[in-house]
């Protein structure tokens, strides 16, 4: 279930669409007990009038099914739709945000997921400055058991996740949060997983714009053996006001439109 860790990056994206013109750059670094986990990806985001464009660089091969490196994500606020634009293949894939969540490792009706024994503790820590902004600083510790069934294959994982978040509610150019995001009830189609996403998004909205997130995720099998141990750090390294022409957020008209794929290759 390594794709579940991608939700942290998506949740940041979902909660920061701004009507004011702004650009920010983030660095996302992942290390772990497996070589395939190691990656340092950058994200550059542009937002204005409810539209958001996000460009990824240095994406590892295992994540390119979602984070296209030669292209970008484009969210159109008035349409409440996301478009995955692939400049290399000259294609545009329109997806609802619910579908995008399902792409991150979920194969629709082929998969059954349940979460039990969930314990969550939220701890308020001392405020600290990031990029000169005084930030709310919290630590969220989550423990739960995830059971997954893919056709006839069953898998049970015990998951421990410790997440530290530094977030500021007073960033000048991000005051007007896009209501299309805030009022949207995002769903993957799995009730237990949807409840977790909803809780985290609600909390993120309360504490402000996340400038730094450190997530330590440990997954163990039923016998207690560690199968995955990773640390992901997302840190905003630059944020500036900007003004963009409307054409900057237009969908390329000469690109081929392709339908979203939710097949097993997304694993």
In a domain, 254, yes or no: yes
Tens digit of each residue's pLDDT (9 = 90 or more) over 116-164: 888 888 899 999 999 999 999 999 998 989 887 776 778 898 999 999 9
pLDDT tens string 191-238: 776 777 777 767 666 788 889 999 999 999 988 999 999 999 999 999
| Sequence-distant (≥ 6) Cβ neighbours of residue 8 within 8 angstroms | 163, 213, 215, 232, 234
pTM of the full predicted structure? 0.77
Integer Cα distance of 138 and 207 in angstroms: 9
Taking only the tens place, the pLDDT of each residue in 231-263 is 999 999 998 888 899 899 999 999 999 986 544
135 assigned to some structural domain: yes
Q: What is the mean pLDDT of residues 160-185?
A: 68
Domain span at residue 72 reads 2-261
Residue 267 lies in a domain: no
- 67 in a structural domain: yes
CATH number reported for the structural domain that contains residue 211 in this entry: 2.50.20.10
pLDDT at 185 over 60: no
**Residue 50 is assigned to a structural domain of this protein:** yes
Could you report the per-residue pLDDT of 72-93, keeping only the tens digit for each? Answer: 989 887 787 889 899 999 999 8
Instruction: Report how far apart, in Å, the C-alpha atoms of 212 and of each of 60, 97, 136, 163, 253 are.
Output: 21, 23, 11, 10, 36
Which pLDDT score, from 0 to 100, does residue 110 have?
A: 55
**Residues 218, 231: Cα–Cα separation, whole Å:** 9
pLDDT for position 69: 81
Long-range CB contacts (within 8 A, 24+) of 40-44: 41/67, 43/9
Other Cβ atoms less than 10 A from the Cβ of 84: the count is: 20
Structurally, how many domains does the chain consist of?
Answer: 1
Examine residue 117 and state whether it is found in any structural domain, yes or no. Answer: yes
What are the pLDDT digits (tens) for 49-67? 888 899 998 887 767 666 7
pLDDT at 175 over 70: no
Place of tokens 């997921």: 113
Residues 102-124 have a mean pLDDT of 70
Whether residue 160 is contained in a domain is answered as yes
Residue 13 has pLDDT above 70, yes or no: no
Nearest alpha-carbon partner for 1 in 263, 165, 193: 193
Is pLDDT at 181 greater than 50 in this prediction? no
Residue 266 is assigned to a structural domain of this protein = no
- pLDDT higher for 9 or 80? 80
């Amino acid at each position: 279930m390594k794709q579940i860790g991608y939700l942290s990056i998506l949740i940041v994206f979902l909660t920061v669409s701004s009507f004011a013109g702004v650009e920010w750059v983030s660095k996302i670094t992942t290390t772990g007990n497996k070589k395939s986990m190691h990656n340092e990806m950058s994200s550059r985001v542009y937002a204005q009038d409810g539209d958001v464009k996000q460009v990824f660089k240095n994406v590892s091969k295992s994540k390119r099914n979602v984070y296209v490196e030669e292209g970008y994500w484009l969210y159109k606020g008035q349409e409440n739709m996301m478009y995955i634009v692939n400049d290399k293949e000259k294609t545009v894939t329109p997806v609802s945000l619910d579908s995008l969540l399902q792409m991150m490792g979920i194969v629709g009706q082929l998969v059954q997921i349940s979460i039990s024994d969930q314990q969550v503790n939220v701890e308020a820590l001392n405020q600290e400055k990031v990029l000169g902004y005084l930030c709310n600083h919290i630590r969220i510790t989550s423990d739960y058991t995830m059971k997954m069934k893919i056709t006839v294959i069953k898998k049970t994982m015990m998951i421990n996740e410790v997440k530290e978040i530094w977030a500021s509610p007073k960033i000048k150019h991000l005051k007007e949060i896009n209501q299309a995001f805030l009022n949207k009830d995002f769903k993957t189609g799995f009730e237990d997983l949807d409840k977790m996403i909803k809780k985290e998004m609600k909390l993120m909205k309360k504490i402000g714009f996340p400038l730094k997130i450190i997530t330590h995720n440990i997954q163990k099998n039923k016998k207690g053996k560690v199968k995955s141990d990773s640390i992901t750090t997302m840190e905003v390294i630059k944020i500036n006001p900007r003004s963009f022409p409307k054409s900057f957020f237009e969908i390329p008209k000469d690109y081929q439109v392709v339908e979203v794929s939710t097949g097993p290759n997304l694993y």
